[in-house]
Amino acid sequence: MSTIQLLGDKFDGTPATVSPVSIRPKGDRTRRVMMVQPASAGGNFEYIAIPRQGMLYLSGALEQWDGPYVYERDIWFEDRLGRMDPDSDLDGIDILMVTSLINETPRGYALAREAREFHPNLIILGGGPQMSPLPEEAIARGGFDVIVIQQFLGYRLIERETEYKRLAQLEDLAADGLIHTGRNGKINVFISDDLHTPPLRAVKFRNERLERLKGWKSRTDSMGMICQARAEIGQDDELADALLDANVKMLYLGVESNNAESLKAVNKRQEPGQMEKDLVRLNEKGFSVVAMTIIGLPYDTEESIMTLADWVKQYSRYQTANLLTPLPATSNWDLKPLNANGDLLQEGEMRPYELYTGRQLVHEDERWTMAQSRDLFDRYSAKLTSIDALYGRIFRILGNYRMRQARSVQDLSETTETMRDWSQQVQQAGKEFGENLHLRVTELAETFRSVSQPLSNARSEFVDNLRTRINEVSDSLRIYAEMADTGSKDVAASISVRVNEVTDLLNSVLDSTGQRQNSNRAS
């Protein structure tokens, strides 16, 4: 077994950005690195593929590394790009790096094994919150050469200037259309839980976090921030106000339970009575509160779980639900695991990590079987105002919009191809006229191709210029059509009609984009 800790003292903490064009340095010093995030098995947020920034940071570190090799990096995010073919997609790769959350682990192990089968000399590294605490299993099941370890080191602060660089980088990505901009003109950003410091403890860390937030104030005007936090922020008006000033308007809070005995059993240092006060205060200050709850705790009953649903809805706008799930390097990991059939895991069996989604019990519990726990989860979730359901609707709307946009572009493409065919016919009516018309159709087709870029992030200047260009080319086409001799009048008239149809279609798309932009500016 091999384990290693990777540290980059020259890395400034800025993640690499993903570009459609890879810059490929040449020379014997070059090593090609493929970083893979395996496909998710589902669970919370299964309706949206979320790329984790760890690989972007690592890519940035390798880019800045001053050593004997120059690293050419690619990132493969299976939930967006589809499943990797370890045979063809790793051809020419020197180093494969795989990270995974717990329910992505079976796919991660399989990918590493297949990569070894097709490319025996490939160096394969694994890491992340699942493999790092369990390096022996990862090497045995996945055949990794190296497992990167070093987890849960406590609070670690990067340089303030690095935080500012990251905020600026988000704005650049949005300007390039790589991050969706909402109807209010803002980009939504889920930031990490490094703002969850309890105000009544870790005073030094809290004070530093407060000063950093004050520096964010003018740098996040274009953003709507979402942050995981602790409800104790409700006892610290100064910190809460700094969050609001930095546009951190939605808080995910670890409410867990309103059962004091259950909280004590899992070493959660909070009192339900104080939790209520904190939640009330945060709601009064204008935060949109998302209460994260856990059911299946040691003293839970079906009755108390249903009561929790009624209680938590009084103090939060949205809620999330998870059944107690053992995770590596936590106190619950020693609970007796179940296999995929709901029976006790036998020696030599691998845990069914694909079921570690928080939607069923995966450990022995005398109160509920695995099947019964699924029914319990469904009944409890049905009583909540689920933030998951809200995001699901949002992303379905976005998906439908993208489909409509794709259909519009396809319609434009098909129309221009038809016009190309007609321009060939018109050449028979006169060589000079035909050549000119063919040239103009080509210009119009090239203009249409520019529309295939995401219009949802188009700027008004671009829209106006494009509309002017379309009108100019369309007018020219009509003039050439009118110049046709008597023998080609039917063809010319047909082309004129199609020009009108295409222009109307394109203008309707541009009008829709312009209306959204005007609405965004007004709001």
Describe the strand order of the beta sheet including 146-148 as a list of residue ranges. Answer: 3-4, 146-148, 123-127, 95-99, 30-37, 70-77
B/e letters for 468-500, b = 16+ CB within 10 Å, e = fewer, are: eebeebbebbbebbeebeeebeebbebbbebbe
* pLDDT at residue 484, rounded to an integer: 47
CB neighbours of 394 closer than 8 A, spacing ≥ 6? none
> What is the Cα–Cα distance from 263 to 258, expressed in whole angstroms?
8
Q: Terminal CA-to-CA distance of the chain, rounded, Å?
A: 58
Q: With 60 as the cut, is the pLDDT of residue 496 above it? A: no
> What is the Cα–Cα distance from 178 to 173, expressed in whole angstroms?
5
Give tens-digit pLDDT for 324-333.
Answer: 999 998 889 9
Helix, strand and coil in the chain, % to nearest 5: 50, 15, 35
DSSP-assigned states of every residue in 24-66: ---STTEEEEEEEEPPP--STTTTS----THHHHHHHHHHH--
Residue 504 binned pLDDT confidence (cut-offs 50, 70, 90): low
Q: With 60 as the cut, is the pLDDT of residue 102 above it? A: yes
Q: What is the mean pLDDT of residues 289-316?
A: 93
At residue 266, the 3 state secondary structure works out as coil
Summary mean pLDDT of the chain: 77
| CB atoms closer than 10 angstroms to residue 211 | 11
CB neighbours of 267 closer than 8 A, spacing ≥ 6? 331
Residue 485 binned pLDDT confidence (cut-offs 50, 70, 90): very low
**Bridge-partner residues for 248, per DSSP?**
225
**What amino acid is encoded at 59 in this protein?**
S
CB of 256 within 8 A of CB of 268?
yes
| CB atoms closer than 10 angstroms to residue 323 | 24
* pLDDT at residue 56, rounded to an integer: 83
CB of 414 within 8 A of CB of 428?
no
| Comparison of pLDDT for 255 and 323, the residue scoring more | 323
Q: Which of 62-71, 171-180, 514-523 has the lowest mean pLDDT?
A: 514-523
CB of 158 within 8 A of CB of 144?
no
Q: What is the mean pLDDT of residues 428-455?
A: 54
As a residue count, the chain comes to: 523
Residue 204 binned pLDDT confidence (cut-offs 50, 70, 90): confident
Give tens-digit pLDDT for 215-253.
Answer: 998 999 999 999 888 888 999 999 999 999 999 999 999
* pLDDT at residue 105, rounded to an integer: 94
Structure tokens at 66: 């001053």
* Maximum mean pLDDT: which of 6-10, 34-38, 391-395: 34-38
Residue 291 binned pLDDT confidence (cut-offs 50, 70, 90): very high
Helix (H) or strand (E) holding 131: none
Q: What is the mean pLDDT of residues 209-215?
A: 91
| Comparison of pLDDT for 189 and 90, the residue scoring more | 90
How far CA 208 is from CA of 12, 195, 319, in Å, comes to 19, 10, 30
> What is the Cα–Cα distance from 383 to 173, expressed in whole angstroms?
38
> What is the Cα–Cα distance from 280 to 351, expressed in whole angstroms?
41
Structure tokens at 158: 């990067």
* pLDDT at residue 24, rounded to an integer: 43
Closest by Cα among 58, 226, 227, 78 to 148: 58
> What is the Cα–Cα distance from 356 to 354, expressed in whole angstroms?
6
Q: What is the mean pLDDT of residues 465-487?
A: 52
* pLDDT at residue 317, rounded to an integer: 92
> What is the Cα–Cα distance from 319 to 386, expressed in whole angstroms?
5
> What is the Cα–Cα distance from 514 to 394, expressed in whole angstroms?
21
Closest by Cα among 100, 36, 104, 27 to 69: 27
Closest by Cα among 252, 265, 192, 187 to 221: 187
At residue 76, the 3 state secondary structure works out as strand
- The number of angstroms, rounded, from the C-alpha of 115 to the middle of its chain's C-alpha atoms is 26
* pLDDT at residue 179, rounded to an integer: 78
Residue 523 binned pLDDT confidence (cut-offs 50, 70, 90): very low
* pLDDT at residue 406, rounded to an integer: 59
* pLDDT at residue 41, rounded to an integer: 76
